[in-house]
Amino acid sequence: MKRFEQKTVLVTGAASGIGAACVRRLWEEGASVALADQDQTGLEKLISEFSETNDNPRIFGGRLDVSDSAQVQSFVAAAKGKFGHLHGLINCAGIKGVGNVLDCEPENWKKVMSVNLDGTFLMCQAFARAVQHDRTSRAIVNISSGAGIMGVPNRLPYVASKFAVSGVTRTMGAELGPYGIRVNAIAPGMVRTPFTAYMFEDPEKARRIRAAHAIGREGQPEEIAAVATFLLTDDASFMTGAVVSVDGGQTACIPSV
Ligand code: NAD
């Protein structure tokens, strides 16, 4: 029995990296998947892996800017219209946020918060409103970061947005528990995706990244997708409001000197 047969899952940031790995895993396990990303070309490329036509009954793809409330509402409504029921949501859409307290411009700060935090909030709200009367188990997974657990110099807006994602996850877990909707977050360590590819171009930097993880290497997107899909299933039925580190031990300890 495939774990996601007869289940529908929404994935944002679906065109690349961790989101695309989640989509592939869900597809293999029988889910119907609603894919959202602002990158239309990337979306179409991924969808073509599953289907040569645009009318696959298990796939719905939509171009979406998660920071735009109207777009989010119409995407969730369209997915519900196509599939009837929605069972899960994985929020992967995210952008980098470089800058420190001395040089970070307000526009940069607002842009990062609008995608990483507002986008997560808007998607969770639209999903929760769509399923709140279903009275059966539903689940949300937000992708936070190790930068939502520990500070990172010169990544101030990113850190702020990811600490906030961890905080809203815990709070929404409490708020939505009575509706049967579980909300958890994953805090990944460094994962090899287009988001981080530039960091591995310098061999010395790549060595330092690997050394910062207890298991001595960066992660792969499939290792995050494995935990995200687990959190959607009833095997995680007693988990809500949790922020789960999936980071090869990156945030497990302070290095001894
Ligand atoms: P990625 O760049 O490969 O994928 C991110 C996707 O989000 C892209 O397809 C992009 O088009 C989409 N996106 C960006 N802004 C959007 C918007 N406004 N609306 C809709 N889609 C939008 O990155 P990734 O590494 O797969 O990261 C996925 C998530 O994981 C992000 O939230 C990131 O912060 C988080 N994360 C990544 C790492 C890592 O090491 N890769 C570590 C910790 C956390």
Average pLDDT of 183-199?
A: 97
Q: Is the pLDDT of residue 121 over 90?
A: yes
The span from the CA of 25 to the CA of 30, in Å, is 9
Q: What is the pLDDT of residue 54?
A: 62
Residues of the chain above pLDDT 90, percent: 94
Average pLDDT, the chain: 96
Give the pLDDT band of residue 145 (cuts 50, 70, 90): very high
Task: Provide the pLDDT for residue 76.
Answer: 98
Question: Is the four-CA dihedral 116, 26, 190, 184 of positive or negative sign?
Answer: positive
Q: What's the pLDDT band for 52 if we cut at 50, 70, 90? A: low
Distance 13 CA to ligand 1 centre (A): 6
Instruction: Tell me, using a 6 A CB cutoff, whether residue 15 lines ligand 1.
Output: yes
Choose the catalytic residue: 60, 75, 158, 163.
Answer: 158
Q: Which of 18, 68, 165 to mutate to test the pocket of ligand 1 (most atoms within 8 A of CB)?
A: 18
Query: Can you tell me whether residue 184 is helix, strand or coil?
Result: strand
Ligand 1 atom with the shortest distance to the CA of 116: 32
Say how many Å lie between the CA of residue 95 and the centre of ligand 1.
6
Q: What is the pLDDT of residue 257?
A: 77
Distance from Cα 41 to the centre of ligand 1, integer Å: 16
C-alpha 57, offset from chain centre: 24
| pLDDT at site 17 | 98
Confidence of residue 91 (pLDDT cuts 50, 70, 90): very high
| pLDDT tens track for 17-42 | 999 999 999 999 999 999 999 999 99
Rounded CA separation 197/8 (Å): 31
191 pocket-lining for ligand 1 (C-beta < 6 Å)? yes
At 1, the pLDDT band (50, 70, 90 cuts) reads: confident
pLDDT digits (tens, 9 = 90+) for 198-229: 999 999 999 999 999 999 999 999 999 999 99
Q: What whole-number distance in Å separates Cα of residue 44 and Cα of residue 12?
A: 14
Atom 29 in ligand 1: which residue has the minimum CA distance? Answer: 92
- Cα separation, 30 vs 108, whole angstroms: 40
Judge if the beta carbon of residue 86 lies within 6 A of ligand 1: no
The DSSP string of 5-17 is TT-EEEEESTTSH
Given pLDDT bands bounded at 50, 70 and 90, which one contains residue 256? confident
Residue 255's pLDDT band (cuts 50, 70, 90): confident
179: annotated active-site residue: no
State if residue 247 touches ligand 1 by the CB under 6 angstroms criterion.
no
Nearest CA among 76, 82, 92, 87 for reference residue 125: 76
* Ligand 1 geometric centre to CA of 133 (Å): 30
- Bin 103: left if φ > 0, else alpha if -120 < ψ < 50, else beta: alpha
Please check the confidence at residue 138 and state whether its pLDDT lies above 80.
yes
Ligand 1 contact via 88 beta carbon (within 6 Å):
no
Q: Which atom of ligand 1 is nearest to the CA of 65?
A: 19
CB distance 219 to 225 below 8 Å: no
3 state DSSP class of 1: coil
How does residue 51 score in pLDDT terms, banded at 50, 70 and 90? confident
Tell me how far apart the alpha carbons of residues 107 and 203 are, in angstroms, rounded to a whole number.
33
